[in-house]
Every structure is written in C-alpha cells, then in structure tokens.
Structure 1
Amino acid sequence: MRRKDREITDRSVIESILNNAEVCRIALADENEPYIVPVCFAYEDNTIYFHSAPAGKKIAMLTKNPRCCVEVDRSSGPIKSDNPCKWEMQYQSVICTGTARILTGYAEKCAAMNAIMRHYGSKDHPFTEKELENVCLVKVLLGGMTGKSYGY
C-alpha cells in the first residue's frame, strides 16, 4: 500500500466496514476482459456471500476463473479546500481477494441467504428448497484483506 498513513491495520475496524457496507463490488477476470459488478452481500467468518441469477456473465466468469476481488466502501463526500487541487475524499474502504464457489446444497444455500438477510437488517427466513431453486448463491473464501481510511 502506497499510503501507509491511511492503512487500516486493525482487523476489527476492517470487519466493521465489511459488516456495515451496503454494496459490495465483485471484480472478475476472463483472459483480457476485466468485469466488476455490484451485489447484495454478507460478510461472516472470513467469507463473503452474495446471490445472483443462476446464469449470466458474472456466473460464467466465476465458473471459468473462481479467483476474484471484492471491494466495499463508505464515504461522507469531499473535504473541500480553497485550492481545488487540495480537495480530499472522506472514505473508508476494504479490498479483499478470494476464491469463489457456487453453493449447491440446500443447507448451504439457506445459510448463505439468511446471512445476506441479516446483513440488511432482516431476521432469518425458513426458505424452502423451491424458493432457493432459481437462486445462485456464491461463497467467496477470502485470502487477502486490506483497508484504507481518510477523514474518519
């Protein structure tokens, strides 16, 4: 990290950002084509869960190459100065790398979907197998994790 003065080294702060972010962006690569997409998600136990339609570009890319990058952030906007070249952005961000796996079993899918429900403030739901039939749930086991902050 170039700006060591902005690095977050406290794991609990990094996890707090992950637990409170509203949107997660998943970055994927397929040969020479990068792709990034926002998703609803949850973070639990060094793992990101997200859901998707069972088919599409994101799932096709993850099937071909399960390595991915995850990004979450929060911002309170710019910190202005009289000199526009000295403006800064007040932010906290976390970037993680990991390996994705599409969940197939009912118990795994139900647990992942309920983690996502809890992340957005809902209680667990007794999903039926039929309800989860047409939903793709993905587990990203995280390898690396870095955080950065300014103005907080």
Structure 2
Amino acid sequence: MVVFKLPKMTKQEMWKLIRRQRLCRIAFKGAKYPYMAPFQYVVLNGVLYFHFTDYGKKMKLIENDKHVCVEIEEYKEDLSEYSFIVLRGTLKVITDQKERAQALTQLSEEGKQKLSPNFLPAHGFKKEDGWSSLTPSNISLVAIKLENITQEIGLKSP
C-alpha cells in the first residue's frame, strides 16, 4: 500500500481560509494534558486577535507557557472538500490601549454581523447583553494576539 499525502496549501490559500472563517481552536500546554478550546478570532494587519476573559484556566495556561497551536478548518458536510491550517506560535496579552480597542471593536462588529448572540457565553457574557458587551470600555476584557509564528501548515483535500 502506498501512503498518500494531502496536498499542501499555498500561503495565499491559507490566508484566504483564515479570512473566511471566524472560529478556531487553540491548544495550550497543560500541566499533564493539552487543553483545547474554541475561540472567535479576527485578522487585523495580518495578525490574529482573540478575546480572553481575565479569569480562569486559559489565562493561567498562557501565564505558565505562551506557546500554542492554533487550528482553523473548513469543510463540506460530506467531507468531499476540506482544508485545515495549523499555526504554531505564542500568545501575547495586548497592553497597548489603541491596539486592544481595535481588536475588541473588530471582534464585537464581526460578532454583531455574522454570529448568533448564543455564542456570547463563550466570551463570558449573557446572550441578552448583546455584542456591544464586547467593548473596549469594559476594562475586564483581555485582547490577545498570536505572534512569533514558527510553523504554518496548511493541507487540503486532493
């Protein structure tokens, strides 16, 4: 039997996929096991941004080790076509207030336009609060960006 390898995506194909999608999975290094969670993301100036609540497991994990693996995928329901991207890098808490405001505003705007309020609890809000809860004036919100990408892997269906 011959092993068949999936075709690699070009960098341009990878970034088109990244811009089309809104949800990714981030794998963190846990003490004993990896920890993976879904995140809404936005792209600003070629950088992926996320929102974290300022409490809980994920913040503790990146305080211990900022190295992560981000996975983004796209597929047809019957899997006749599929593609996925893996980005390995580090997460950085945004301390620059202008950059933080831009990221949170974009997350809120894209949420309002493209996502159900039912996803707001994943951000730590009640769905009744609406997407305007994800606002830069809320000082408890943490904006995070992916940086120092050391590996980009993109594979697709043949």
Q: Shorter-chain-normalised TM-score: which range? A: 0.7 to 0.9
Structure 1: tracts of 5 or more residues without a match: 80-88
Q: Distance in 2 between matches of 1:121 and 1:100?
A: 25
Deviations 1:57-112 (A, max 9, x none): 11110111000000111110225xxxxxxxxx521111100111111232121122
Q: Does 1:148 align with 2:155?
A: yes
Give the corresponding residue for 2:91. 100
- Change over 3 Å in CA distance of 1:133–1:55 after alignment to 2: same
Per-residue Cα deviation, 1:17-37 (whole angstroms, up to 9, x for no partner): 001112111110123220000
Identity %: 19
Q: 2:103 aligns with which of 99, 108, 112?
A: 112
CA contact (8 A) 1:95 1:145 kept: yes
1:42 Cα offset (Å): 1.2
Structure 2 CA distance for partners of 1:114 and 1:147, relative to 1, 3 Å: same
> More strand per residue: 1 or 2?
1
TM-score, normalising length from structure 2?
A: 0.74
CA contact (8 A) 1:29 1:61 kept: yes
What's 2:22 paired with?
22
Mapped to 2, the partners of 1:42 and 1:24 lie a distance apart of 10
In 2, the alpha carbon distance for the partners of 1:149 and 1:3 equals 12
Q: For the residues of structure 2 that align with 1:27 and 1:137, how far apart are their CA atoms? A: 17
Q: Where do residues 24-39 of structure 1 align in structure 2 (5 Å cutoff)?
A: 24-39=24-39
* Structure 2 counterparts to residues 114-129 of structure 1, below 5 A: 114-117=105-108
Q: Deviating runs (4+, > 6 A) in structure 1?
A: none
Larger Rg: 1 or 2? 1
* 1:47 alignment partner in structure 2: 47
Amino acid at match of 2:89: G
The root-mean-square deviation of aligned C-alpha atoms, in Å, is 2.5
Q: Which amino acid in structure 1 is aligned with residue 157 of structure 2?
A: Y
The whole-number CA distance in structure 2 between the counterparts of 1:53 and 1:40 is 13
* Partner SS, residue 22 of structure 2: coil
Give 1:145 deviation, angstroms.
Answer: 0.9
| Mapped partners of 2:138, 2:152: distance in 1 | 30
Partner of 1:86: none
- 1:54 deviates by 0.7
Distance 1:74 1:114, change over 3 A: same
